[in-house]
Structure 1
Amino acid sequence: MNIRETELPGIGYKFEIITKNQDKMVIVIHDDGRREIYHFDSDDHDEAISSVTLSDTEARQMAGIIGGMAYKPKALETVDMAFDDLIIEWYKVEPNASAVNKTIGEIDIRNNFGVNVIAIKKKQSNKSHNPGSDTIIEAGDTLVLSGERNQLKELIKNLLSG
């Protein structure tokens, strides 16, 4: 996600957001607390297709909802926990990822990326298991990974995302 922040003298701040899916939103935070949110056409980032104005209280309530304070989804695609430099992250393998239909041993995740696959929740099962080197990674599987943040990012970028 790409976020660009601009000060609007006498008004407040403007945040332009381009998501991973190339959706564009603009959020204007006024000095009086109001928030304006604009959503743009995916084919024309100059054409606003919807907008909403929120009071400060409404914006804070909405932020809590979006941030997961009111409801935390059961099956999160990516959650991480940190223990100093060690991160544990859940990541759902994307359909066009280069790791799809390869074994953990074939990819040699531990030696090539310094990351351990702690568990896999297979897409067709509710159960997680402790995978061996012969476990095949399939699109839609959720991997529980441990390693340093930069190692995890590299693994996800190179092997698990499409």
Structure 2
Amino acid sequence: MTTRRTPLPGVGIQYDFSTESGHHVSVVVHNDGRRFLGFYSADDPDACLLSVPLVPEEATALAHLLDQAPIDAVRTDGIDLVTEHIPVGVRSPYVGRALGDTGARTRTGASIVAVLRRTGAHPSPGPGFRLATGDTLVAVGTREGVDTLAEIIAGG
């Protein structure tokens, strides 16, 4: 399954994927934290059949139903932090390179707090940790910082 990430200037980010059965699903993450889950026609990928708005709490509840151990957003006094899972795809310029090469914290202010790999989780990876295709980075930071980090990892 490939997830396509599309920046929506002034709105947020849209994530699209197609299921193995051919269904097109989209999640739009607004800059203010709102999320919309969209379902599209298999015959016309631009025809949205249903859009379901989700407030952050509903999105978290749905994530708990889909994944037994999702990571929740972190909220602190006056500062909203988000936690995102960022995939390392085959086209990432960081495949096979050390995590420190990303310059994540310096460039974005976001921190990579774990790397999820098929063989298991690697919490608090050091700068020498080598990334592989299929890894998922668990990043914490501001919405802007985490989105910028996702673009960097994707090679954008």
TM-score, reference length from structure 1: 0.53
**Residue matched to 2:89:** 94
Deviation at 1:98, TM superposition (A): 2.4
Q: Give the 3 Å change call, closer, same or farther, for CA 72–109 of structure 1 in structure 2.
A: same
Q: Does 1:136 align with 2:130?
A: yes
Whichever residue aligns with residue 113 of structure 1, its letter is T
Aligned length: 117
Deviation at 1:109, TM superposition (A): 1.1
8 A contact 2:102–2:152 mirrored in 1: no
Structure 1 unmatched runs, 5+: 3-17, 26-36, 53-63
8 A contact 1:116–1:145 mirrored in 2: yes
Deviation at 1:100, TM superposition (A): 1.8
Deviation at 1:160, TM superposition (A): 3.5
Over the aligned positions, Cα root-mean-square deviation in angstroms equals 3.9
**Residue matched to 1:57:** none
Q: Report percent identity of matched pairs.
A: 20
Q: Give the 3 Å change call, closer, same or farther, for CA 100–42 of structure 1 in structure 2.
A: farther
Q: Give the 3 Å change call, closer, same or farther, for CA 99–69 of structure 1 in structure 2.
A: closer
Alignment of 1:1-162 (within 5 A): 20-21=16-17, 23=24, 39-42=41-44, 68=62, 71-74=65-68, 80-83=73-76, 84-123=79-118, 125-160=119-154
Moved over 6 A (4+): none
Deviation at 1:119, TM superposition (A): 1.2
**Residue matched to 2:21:** none
- Distance, in Å, in 1 between the alignment partners of 2:97 and 2:147 is 19
8 A contact 2:110–2:140 mirrored in 1: yes
- Distance, in Å, in 1 between the alignment partners of 2:91 and 2:40 is 32
3-state SS, counterpart of residue 159 of structure 1: helix
3-state SS, counterpart of residue 120 of structure 2: coil
Q: Give the 3 Å change call, closer, same or farther, for CA 75–140 of structure 1 in structure 2.
A: farther
Deviation at 1:140, TM superposition (A): 1.2
3-state SS, counterpart of residue 66 of structure 2: coil
Structure 2 unmatched runs, 5+: 1-5, 8-13, 19-23, 27-38, 51-57
Q: Give the 3 Å change call, closer, same or farther, for CA 160–95 of structure 1 in structure 2.
A: same
